[in-house]
């Protein structure tokens, strides 16, 4: 019996599965039956792989430029065709090993089958290479999304990073003493959250929220609020969302509320126990869920290690700015 190789079949050949079923029924020998079963199993694996690729594409939709010509329906149609062909080729090459397991389970000539716990651990499916890194976005693309959420909803309160550090330092030093934290950590965190004070959330009336730590407003918050689009990380991928944030009368109120916020939330108890060690404090802050960015703590540590940041702090100390 002449069975058409799976890799030579058109991905839109809807009758192929039924033809394989008929071939399996009409097979005159065990060998022909096994061949038909193998092709059917490969078809099933191809369908499963296509569903996997489709899910990966959907996870990437948050980064799509709606006005881009590459986001047109025609482009998506051919992109889907491409993914279907990839799924077919992966199945024919045995990249996942799912077809082999199905054959071992269903073949009447098989004496046993491989358990799922050991299925094809020797095969590496390089989906990043095949899909142009759909699952893992380059840093440049993540930065583009970050730029997009930095919009007219934010205002700049400071002319330079130096001006930001000089104005925040005094308030941070006073507030940090309450929890035994190095004030440099608070300044570095505020710098990361606001881009050195250039991207502070605005209220609906256009005035600044003065929220240096991007603390969101929940049901317990009775003060003013500000709304903006934000970047959250879900399962390692950045997603754009609308969120409400606390708004303050002054920078000092924001810094003081940051400390109060940590002290009033039981989930930050471990972080507050480690304030004497800045690095551990930041790790515990992230572990407690302060931010969804998986690299949040490391980013603040990088700010602390920056030469220009240390130079600005040194200048403040030498001039007696306390």
From 32, 141, 153, 232, active-site residue: 232
Active-site residue, 232 included: yes
Encoding tokens for residue 163? 């001006």
Specify burial of residue 122 (Cβ count, 10 A radius: 0-12, 13-18, 19+). exposed
DSSP string, 171-227: HHHHHHTTTT--HHHHHHHHHHHHTTTTSEEBPTTS-B---SS-PBP-TT--S-EEE
Rounded to whole angstroms, the Cα distance separating 221 from 225 reads 9
From 83, 257, 283, 284, active-site residue: 257
Rounded to whole angstroms, the Cα distance separating 321 from 314 reads 10
Which of helix, strand or coil describes residue 109?
A: coil
Specify burial of residue 164 (Cβ count, 10 A radius: 0-12, 13-18, 19+). buried
Tell me which residues are annotated as active site.
232, 257
């Amino acid at each position: 019996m002449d069975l058409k190789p799976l890799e030579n079949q058109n991905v839109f050949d809807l009758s192929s599965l039924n033809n394989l079923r008929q071939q399996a029924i009409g097979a005159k020998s065990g060998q022909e039956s096994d061949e038909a079963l193998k092709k059917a199993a490969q078809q099933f694996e191809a369908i499963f792989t296509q569903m996997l690729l489709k899910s990966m594409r959907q996870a990437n939709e948050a980064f799509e430029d709606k006005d881009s010509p590459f986001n047109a329906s025609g482009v998506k149609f051919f992109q889907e065709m491409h993914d279907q062909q990839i799924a077919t080729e992966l199945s024919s090459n045995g990249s996942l090993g799912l077809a082999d397991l199905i054959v071992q389970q269903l073949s009447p000539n098989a004496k046993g089958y491989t358990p799922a716990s050991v299925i094809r651990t020797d095969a590496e499916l390089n989906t990043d290479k095949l899909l142009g890194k759909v699952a893992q976005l380059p840093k440049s693309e993540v930065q583009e999304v970050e730029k997009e959420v930095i919009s007219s909803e934010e205002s700049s309160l400071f002319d330079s990073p130096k001006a930001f550090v000089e104005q925040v330092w005094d308030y941070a030093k006073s507030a940090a003493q309450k929890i035994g934290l190095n004030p440099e950590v608070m300044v570095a965190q505020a710098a990361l959250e606001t881009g050195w004070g250039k991207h502070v959330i605005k209220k609906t009336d256009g005035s600044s929220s003065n929220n240096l730590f991007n603390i969101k407003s929940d049901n317990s918050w009775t003060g003013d609020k500000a709304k903006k689009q934000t970047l959250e990380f879900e399962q390692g991928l950045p997603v754009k969302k609308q969120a409400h944030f606390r708004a303050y009368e002054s920078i000092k109120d924001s810094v003081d509320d940051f400390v109060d916020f940590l002290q009033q939330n039981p989930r930050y108890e471990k972080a507050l126990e480690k304030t004497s060690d800045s690095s551990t404090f930041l790790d515990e802050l992230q572990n407690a869920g302060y931010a969804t960015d998986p690299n949040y703590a490391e980013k603040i540590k990088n700010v602390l290690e920056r030469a220009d940041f240390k130079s600005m702090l040194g200048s403040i100390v030498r001039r007696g700015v306390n």
